[in-house]
A and B are shown apart, each in its own frame.
Chain A
């Protein structure tokens, strides 16, 4: 068992470094793209690489949070705003020009690397049922609603403030969007 464990740890460490490299490369590409949509694609790749890093570090709860909330919800907000900003006539041609197949190649390659890593580490996770160093979601939940209860309440108030602020600021943008100079 010990031999198998060390082999598996070595493989997981390799997966960690590979996804760290993917995260850094994707972040570098994201901040150097001229086009916002391309930057968004690379940034989503960077987030997914971070999620794989969290998973092999033994934090599956946070990995799921990154994929669902960060790469899912927050990035969808960005995409919505980019779409709203480009709702001028002729924008379909623009988007078609932005999303040429060769634009997709870089993010898709990075994501293929990540999904191979993820499937591999999931298989390891399943078979090597030792997982002694993984911090389970159960422990995180106990910590969240035990010693950190007040902070959770503050986080909910912060989200409420964000919601109200976004509503207040966005209302004017929606009602009088046509009279832009």
Chain B
């Protein structure tokens, strides 16, 4: 049988995971770990969708997780190639080395 969890509790777990990811994005300076934190946030959103879908007994939550997964895959592929470019140009993964724009 499936777990029986109140809706508010499940959504709170997703919110906690989202906040952890947000703190990671704001606090860390290593760009790979920032990307990982973004992944954590996307995963928390997906958890909220799947939880709500399971609560209402509809497949739509899982469909939404499928789309979130697609977005995550596209974001990670482009983001990681940008990380490679950044490392090639600046020799560092620290985002503080690219905080000045040269227009």
Contact = CB atoms under 8 A, between A and B. Distances in A.
Interface of A: 5, 8-10, 12-13, 15-17, 20, 23-24, 27-28, 30-31, 33, 36, 39-40, 43, 46-47, 50, 53-54, 56-59, 61-62, 65-66, 69-70, 73-74, 77-78, 81-82, 84-85, 124, 128, 130-135, 139-140, 142-144, 148, 151, 155, 158-159, 161-163, 165-166, 169-170, 172-173, 176-177, 180-181
Contacts of A144: 63, 66
Contact of B40 (A30, A85, A143): A30
14 contacts: A9-B3, A30-B36, A33-B33, A46-B17, A50-B47, A57-B51, A59-B65, A78-B76, A81-B80, A81-B84, A133-B57, A162-B77, A170-B81, A176-B88
A12 to B, nearest CB: 4
Interface string B13-52: 1001100110110011010110111011001001100110
B45 to A, nearest CB: 12
Given A9-B2, A74-B76, A162-B78, 16 more contacts: A10-B4, A30-B36, A39-B33, A53-B47, A58-B2, A62-B46, A65-B69, A66-B43, A74-B39, A78-B35, A134-B2, A135-B54, A155-B70, A162-B75, A169-B81, A170-B81
Q: Binding site of B, secondary structure by majority: helix, strand, loop or mixed? A: helix
Contacts, number: 200
Contact of A31 (B10, B27, B60, B80): B27
B3 A162 contact: no
B20 A169 contact: no
A55 to B, nearest CB: 9
Given A23-B17, A135-B54, A169-B78, A155 B67 contact: yes
Contacts of A143: 59-60, 62-63
Contacts of B82: 169
Given A158-B71, A159-B73, A169-B78, A13 B4 contact: yes
Contacts of A139: 59
Interface residues of B, number: 61
Q: Pick the 7 closest A-B CB pairs, nearest first.
A: A162-B74, A31-B24, A58-B2, A169-B81, A16-B3, A166-B77, A173-B84
By CB atoms of chain B within 10 A, which of A17, A144, A169, A180 has the most?
A169
A161 B58 CA distance: 30
A158 B74 contact: yes
A160 B12 CA distance: 34
Given A62-B50, A77-B76, A170-B84, A50 B43 contact: yes
Given A59-B54, A82-B32, A70 B80 contact: no
